[in-house]
Amino acid sequence: MAGNVIELTDAEFDKTLNEATGPVLVDFWAPWCGPCKMIGPVIEELAGEYAGKATFCKVNTDDHRETAIEYQVSAIPTLILFKDGQVAHRWTGLTAKKDLKAKIDEVLAE
Catalytic residue among 36, 46, 81, 107, which?
36
**82 near 32, Cβ under 8 Å?**
no
Q: What is the dihedral of CA 46, 48, 52, 53, to 10 degrees?
A: -20
What pLDDT is attached to residue 3?
A: 64
What is d(CA 48, CA 71) in angstroms, rounded to the nearest whole number? 26
Q: Is position 57 annotated as part of the catalytic site?
A: no
* Residue pair 87/80 in contact by the 8 Å Cβ criterion: yes
pLDDT of residue 73: 94
User: Considering 26, 33, 76, 79, which one is annotated as catalytic?
Assistant: 33
- C-alpha 35/C-alpha 94 separation (Å) is 6
**Cα gap 51→63, rounded to integer Å:** 27
Give the number of C-alpha atoms closer than 13 A to the C-alpha of residue 82, restricted to the C-beta side: 19
> What pLDDT, on a 0 to 100 scale, did the predictor assign at position 61?
95
- One of 3.30.200.20, 3.40.50.800, 3.40.30.10, 3.30.413.10 is the CATH number of 5-109, namely 3.40.30.10
Question: Does 36 qualify as catalytic in the annotation?
Answer: yes
pTM above 0.85, yes or no: yes
- Spell out the per-residue pLDDT of the chain, length 110, in tens: 346 899 999 999 999 998 888 999 999 999 999 999 999 999 999 999 999 899 999 999 999 999 999 999 999 999 999 999 899 999 999 999 999 999 999 999 98
pLDDT at 21: 85
Q: Where are the domains of the chain?
A: 5-109
